[in-house]
Amino acid sequence: MESGNPALYNAYNGLDKLGVEDAWDMGYTGEGVKVAVMDSGVDFATPDLIGTQARVTNASSPYYGWPLVIDIDSLAHYIQGSENFLVQSQYADTTSTNVSGYQVTGTSKSGIYHIGAHPDSHLAQFYGQPIKVLLEDERTPNTYDTVYVDLNNNHDFRDDKPCRKGDEISYWDRENDGYPDESGGMIYFIADGKTHLPLSEILYGEKAKIPKNGELIAFEYDDSGHGTMCAGIIAAQGRNIKGIAPDAKIMPVRNSIESDMLLYLLTSIGSDGVPNTGDEADVVNRSGGFSYLFNKGADEGSAFLEYLTTIISPSTTIVTANGNDGSGYGTCSSPSSEHVINAGAIYDLWWNNSSYSGDLASFSSRGPNALGQIKPNVLAVGYLAPRVLPLFETHNGKTAWNDMGGGTSSATPHVASVVALIYQAYKDAHGKFPTSEKARDILMSSATDIDEEIFAQGSGIANAKRAVEIASGKDGVLVEPALLVTSPVEAGSDLVFDFNITNYSSEKIDLRPQTLIRDKRSELTLKSSNKDIRFKLPKDMLDCDLLKISSYYQREARSTKLERYEGYDLYLYNWRDVNGDGEAQDAELEAIVSPPRDMGLGFTSEARIHNPYDRTNDGAVAILRIRDKIESDEINVILEGFNWKTWEIGMNLNGKHSRISIPTTNTTGVYQGRIVVEYGKERQCIPVSFSTYRHDEIRINNTNEIYENAKIYGRFEAEPSKFWDTRFYPIYHEGRDLASIEVTWEDQDTDIDVYLYGQNTFNASEIWPFPAMAPIDVPERKVLKENGRSTQVSGINVLPYGDRGVGGSYNKFYTSTGKNREIITGELTDGLNLIVLHEVVSTGKMYGENVTINVSVMPFQSIELKAKAVDRLTIQPTHMDSIIGFSTGDEIKGEDLGFNSRSFWAEEGDVIVISSNDTEYFPQIFFDSNQNGTLDWGPGAFFNSSDSCPADELIFGKRRYDEIDTSHTDIIPIHKSGTYLLLMNNPYGRFEFYHLKNRYQAKANGLIDIKSPERSGSYLGIAEKDGNLIPVPVTLLVEPGEPVSIGLNFDNITERSKSFPVDLELQDRFGNPVEKAAEATVEFDNVSQKVNLVNGSGYINLTAPHKYGTCQIKAKSSYGVTEREIKIADLAPLPTADANISSDMAVQVAQMTAELPKEKADHPKKVESVSSILTSGNISLTWQASEDADHYNVYRLKGVSSEKLAEVKSPEYTMKGELWKSYTFRVSAVNSEGNESELSDPVGIVVTP
């Protein structure tokens, strides 16, 4: 590995802080370890990733020697075809052998060249047309083995790099400086007419297609840059930046529209479907997850991965992002199971000329998961780290990097890299790779404890040096398991936890159990202004293990909708009183916490610093940096000091074996603590957490512990669209009944949503959607499934902030009572159930809400009714006083609606039910406020929206993404009469839409009279009790009445002398079909024929007469006579389609036969010789003057788009650059007539000190 950019590594010492360089010095670089990057793809042509691809090492494999790549969407597109615009194939179709207009290499053995368009849309957008790839047989006739990509788009393949097995990466070094500048991706399969595409047999079996010889090339490239960032953090080669495990090999696993769980499975077992055969990943990096799920840890994905990592492929370790969803509890992403490693984020402020790092990032998601278990497991750098860029972003290899490796997306590959080092060290010492459990325990045992709470840090910051010492058995202390993981336990019981300690050090070990207690609190009320607010922190507040600072202010809106950019971000600084004047000057401040300003809403902000007294000099200063003015005159700041105190629990040490016994309280909730392991000068943390349940009740109270079970907060420091704080309350029940859950809180303008989950099972075979038999057998897994919830009102609102948007989704106040009290009803299942509180709206009147929870249990009664059409029936249900119904439902398809709304009229008291099986589900209902029949978003709703009408009122919105448990039902009450507008937000979705209009009220004696509808079929209704809707369906099966007639069905017009079908149906008086045998006589054109109706239906073929006119078709039976007319006409022939070529194919052909670029008459010549230099942070561009130029346009290239920076008269341009950012420029000449030349070749630079 090379040494990286010198200026960068003079400033950035993050690798040393994480112990990485020490691990390298010990010989551990990730050698022999395959790391899968499950992401947007990887650009292996960017200079830092050349040669890092993993390969098939099984000599008996047909893919031996080729790179390992998983791309099931491109495969599906090839085998099945796809109309989903989200699926972009990365295969090149090289069926054509027409190379006219192109200069070929002349090296084909057969003389037959195959040519096609490169699939990367970035290249097509950069050049204004698809560029071509050439496939030829350079060694053996008709054995196609070599690929050329016309990366300079000169229609001449002779100057392009040949790519073949062993040298698969396509690139163009425009500058001839050894740094590639344009990427053509990596090839990993060439069709030979005999070999299946990778994974096709295991997924499609007999339906798998083998592409013909020379007609397909499989490429791997990055769609967005995210995957390249992750791969670079892991394995960058030091051309620009240094990866943590530079000798590890990268296996790209491209994101899919299919389930992530499916990708995890294929990554863990490899393309042959058998674990441990060499084509599977050792470590999986997934810088993503699903935060929309509130049953995380007990959801289907977590349950499946627990089985995968412990039973199917125990030697594959999965590392996933904990999420960027803010400082609220329970914001961790799924999967979050016991043996999946979740990574949280810390600040490293090197980029801000600060020496501070290691404090928790405000956006880093917190635990616990739904079962009260520890997440994240460890922390790593998430703001900010050096990152590799794909070449489509810079078009310049030397500038293919910057400092923007951020979020838990960055922290995750940091952690995955350390796991790769652990794998190498463990194998060197033990002859085999560790299991995922062993790797997790080594990682957590070696982490650096920073005295944070365990739901924020897990065990602490990943430490590569200590990790490889423990993995190799050279030093350190290994704790197994390295955390307490347990299902909820009964309140008041003793929780027993066993663990083993292996001491590789020569030091004596001491164990100290502790809990984190608040013992200091201070509140400041500051006057708001239109500028930043600076204040010193009270000196006494710094003397603690953890200082937490929170800001908030009051808002009048009962919504989190961001009407304008507003609020404050909380920054924290160390103060060195250099001149001794007692005043904090800017030059005396060094950043400790510096949050990203495009995250969150600004309503609240949080900063944390661990061990502030020891890590500050003359004090600490906070600055509330204003985004924009707020309505409130005041802003409140709460300072809370926490210290780790002795935890009185039982502990029994017996050699390596240790047992602790924790007496739990008799209250419901989640509890956390730690056991500190000390040896010599070292210290590590065993995190402990658990949750407690009671039978059929919730009993809560508050303590001074940092996690409060009886209090919940408004938190808005997350990525746009995800803002919340959550509390979890297990509850145990025997049998199957209904529960009414009533939650109250203090502020009448705060909204807290309530969810109920119950125990269920999950059939994991549902994740396998392919025709071939699944390669593994997975038994049913226990999960918690949603059984009841609050009605959610969630919308979308984005405000511009620079070139990004701020705001994302928003929540609007809605409770079932209209007050600070929510009541939901749902099913309690046998065993463990879970109540979840989720604060979605806070107006900032107070710091947190005290909550109470009451649970009332009543018998469960499903109602299944049956009646004939318009019959009356009387029922006497229990625990309900009315039924609202009935509807058969309408199927709503996204392909029909697009992104348009559908209007409907509803009366006050009606109920809407939406039932869906979509993975992506986001319906919304708006009240048409001005009754104009059109959905009005309001001015500025989406960046520069021109809608001048006031926004229509959002009354329901629910956003959800679940790849596995896709069933979902929402119940929406209508509170006022008028026109409503339904929006689907998913062009490929579909759901059933039920409009329930009739309320059947119980009489004084408890009886409910119901009149069944006229039409037969299955109907849905909803029960109600005391005005609260009960999510237990009332089904009504309406059967047809007695038959009274024969119905005739046929087209109303037919052609002369043509045969046509007629369907006959036995019907009741409302036209409902009746399944009963009958006989009818059909008369037509003076001919009578008998027809037998089997189960009430039959058909006959009739022949139209030769004459024009109108004829009668008559059916006679014991049920009477039915007559209908049919028109006999001379029908015109249908227009004949173009038999030559379809429009889609025409586009393809046009692309395949692109002409040579034409010279543009009257346009200036292309600007040549653009150069860039950096002087004191200023970027200066100069270029060769054009004789026919009136002026020049200077553009900054951002990926495939260009931002015009300036018009200049002379051939030079200077601008101020931002430190550590990458810039790429292009220049054009414009003549006096306004004609613009072709853009210059890109030139790039990274701003360094």
- Tell the residue number behind the tokens 């009320």, with chain if given: 525
- Residue 615: pLDDT band with limits 50, 70, 90: very high
Task: Report pLDDT digits (tens) over 1018-1065.
Answer: 999 999 988 888 887 899 999 999 999 999 999 999 999 999 999 999
pLDDT in the model for residue 809: 79
In a domain, 883, yes or no: yes
- If one counts the domains in the chain, the total is 6
996 in the same domain as 880: yes
Q: What angle do CA 823, 824, 829 make, to 5 degrees?
A: 140
Q: Distance (Å, rounded) from C-alpha 275 to C-alpha 263?
A: 14
In this prediction, residues 172-179 reach a mean pLDDT of 96
For residues 1239 and 1192, is the Cβ–Cβ distance under 8 A? no
Q: Distance (Å, rounded) from C-alpha 897 to C-alpha 690?
A: 47
The boundaries of the domain holding residue 213 are: 91-217
Q: What is the CB neighbour count within 10 angstroms for residue 684?
A: 26
Rg (the chain; Cα; Å): 34
* CATH code assigned at 793: 2.60.120
899 in the same domain as 854: no
In a domain, 13, yes or no: no
Which one of 430-444, 562-576, 962-976, 1148-1162 scores highest in mean pLDDT?
Answer: 430-444
Average the pLDDT over each of 199-203, 558-562, 944-948, 1116-1120 and give the range with the smallest value: 944-948
* CATH code assigned at 1094: 2.60.40.1930
pLDDT in the model for residue 795: 86
Question: Which positions ≥6 away from 85 have C-beta within 8 Å?
Answer: none
pLDDT in the model for residue 1156: 35
**Torsion angles phi and psi, residue 599, rounded to 5:** -105, 150
In this prediction, residues 851-877 reach a mean pLDDT of 92
For residues 888 and 764, is the Cβ–Cβ distance under 8 A? no
pLDDT in the model for residue 1216: 97
937 in the same domain as 850: no
In a domain, 1163, yes or no: no
For residues 124 and 132, is the Cβ–Cβ distance under 8 A? no
Q: Which secondary-structure segment (H or E) carries 1208?
A: strand 1201-1208
854 in the same domain as 873: no
**Is the predicted pLDDT of residue 1142 greater than 60, yes or no?**
no
For residues 436 and 442, is the Cβ–Cβ distance under 8 A? no
666 in the same domain as 528: yes
Sheet of 1097-1103, strands arranged across = 1045-1049, 1059-1067, 1097-1103
- Residue 879: pLDDT band with limits 50, 70, 90: confident
* DSSP sequence for 73-128: HHHHHHHH----TT----EEE--B---TTSB--S--SSS--EEEE-S-HHHHHHHT
- Strand ranges in 598-724 using DSSP code E only, listed in sequence order: 604-610, 620-628, 634-646, 650-654, 657-663, 669-679, 682-695, 711-712
- Residue 359: pLDDT band with limits 50, 70, 90: very high
- Residue 601: pLDDT band with limits 50, 70, 90: confident
Q: What angle do CA 1055, 1061, 1066 make, to 5 degrees?
A: 140
In a domain, 415, yes or no: no
**Is the predicted pLDDT of residue 535 greater than 60, yes or no?**
yes
**Is the predicted pLDDT of residue 1113 greater than 90, yes or no?**
yes
Average the pLDDT over each of 139-153, 426-440, 855-869 and give the range with the smallest value: 855-869
What is each CA distance from 721 to 560, 605, 794, 805, 960, in whole angstroms?
10, 16, 10, 11, 12
**Torsion angles phi and psi, residue 437, rounded to 5:** -65, -45
Task: Report pLDDT digits (tens) over 243-260.
Answer: 999 999 999 999 998 889
Task: Report pLDDT digits (tens) over 360-382.
Answer: 999 999 999 999 999 999 999 99
Q: Which residues are catalytic?
A: 39, 226, 409
Of residues 414, 417, 429, the one with CA closest to residue 471: 429
pLDDT in the model for residue 678: 96
What is each CA distance from 297 to 455, 796, 1052, in whole angstroms?
14, 28, 59
- Residue 1157: pLDDT band with limits 50, 70, 90: very low
* CATH code assigned at 1213: 2.60.40.10
800 in the same domain as 675: no
Higher pLDDT, 795 or 1171: 1171
For residues 1080 and 1117, is the Cβ–Cβ distance under 8 A? yes
998 in the same domain as 869: yes
Tokens of 1128: 């006999």
Q: What angle do CA 51, 1224, 352 make, to 5 degrees?
A: 85
In this prediction, residues 723-727 reach a mean pLDDT of 87
Q: Distance (Å, rounded) from C-alpha 299 to C-alpha 759?
A: 10
**Is the predicted pLDDT of residue 767 greater than 80, yes or no?**
yes
Q: Distance (Å, rounded) from C-alpha 561 to C-alpha 529?
A: 22
Higher pLDDT, 1079 or 859: 1079
In this prediction, residues 993-1002 reach a mean pLDDT of 96
pLDDT in the model for residue 290: 75
**Is the predicted pLDDT of residue 898 greater than 60, yes or no?**
yes
- Residue 725: pLDDT band with limits 50, 70, 90: very high
For residues 340 and 286, is the Cβ–Cβ distance under 8 A? no
In this prediction, residues 726-753 reach a mean pLDDT of 96
- Residue 1136: pLDDT band with limits 50, 70, 90: very low
In a domain, 1148, yes or no: no
- Residue 803: pLDDT band with limits 50, 70, 90: low
Give the CB-side neighbour count of residue 465, counting CA atoms within 13 A: 11
Q: Distance (Å, rounded) from C-alpha 42 to C-alpha 413?
A: 14
Task: Report pLDDT digits (tens) over 1068-1103.
Answer: 999 999 999 999 999 999 999 999 999 999 999 999
Q: Distance (Å, rounded) from C-alpha 681 to C-alpha 850?
A: 42
Burial class (CB in 10 A: 0-12, 13-18, 19+), 103: middle
Q: Distance (Å, rounded) from C-alpha 575 to C-alpha 586?
A: 9
In a domain, 475, yes or no: no
- Its sign, for the CA torsion 900, 902, 908, 913, is negative
Q: Distance (Å, rounded) from C-alpha 410 to C-alpha 234?
A: 10
Tokens of 219: 């490429």
**Is the predicted pLDDT of residue 550 greater than 50, yes or no?**
yes
Q: Distance (Å, rounded) from C-alpha 1050 to C-alpha 781?
A: 51
In a domain, 156, yes or no: yes
What is each CA distance from 214 to 93, 178, 204, 858, in whole angstroms?
9, 31, 22, 69
106 in the same domain as 162: yes
763 in the same domain as 675: no
Characterize the bridge pairing of strands 341-348 and 378-383. Answer: parallel
Tokens of 437: 């459990």
pLDDT in the model for residue 292: 67
In a domain, 442, yes or no: no
pLDDT in the model for residue 218: 98
pLDDT in the model for residue 882: 94
Give the CB-side neighbour count of residue 695, counting CA atoms within 13 A: 4
Question: Which positions ≥6 away from 1153 have C-beta within 8 Å?
Answer: 98, 100, 101
What amino acid is encoded at 562 in this protein? L
Average the pLDDT over each of 595-604, 654-663, 840-849 and give the range with the smallest value: 595-604
Domain limit, last residue, from 635, 663, 692: 692
* Percent of residues, the chain, with pLDDT higher than 70: 95
796 in the same domain as 882: no
Task: Report pLDDT digits (tens) over 630-689.
Answer: 999 999 999 999 999 999 999 998 889 999 999 999 999 999 999 999 999 999 999 999
Task: Report pLDDT digits (tens) over 684-717.
Answer: 999 999 999 999 999 999 899 999 999 999 988 8
**Torsion angles phi and psi, residue 363, rounded to 5:** -85, -10
For residues 764 and 1008, is the Cβ–Cβ distance under 8 A? no
- Residue 899: pLDDT band with limits 50, 70, 90: confident
Domain limit, last residue, from 217, 236, 251: 217
β-sheet bridge partners, residue 873: 1010
- Residue 1198: pLDDT band with limits 50, 70, 90: confident
DSSP symbol at 161: P
Task: Report pLDDT digits (tens) over 86-132.
Answer: 678 999 999 999 999 999 999 999 999 999 999 999 999 999 999 99
Task: Report pLDDT digits (tens) over 372-413.
Answer: 999 999 999 999 999 999 999 999 999 999 999 999 999 999
Q: Where does residue 1104 fall: left (phi above 0), alpha (psi -120 to 50 degrees), or beta otherwise?
A: beta
**Torsion angles phi and psi, residue 567, rounded to 5:** 100, -165
Of residues 645, 647, 689, 675, the one with CA closest to residue 510: 675
1210 in the same domain as 1078: no
1198 in the same domain as 1216: yes
Domain limit, last residue, from 1129, 1158, 1187: 1129
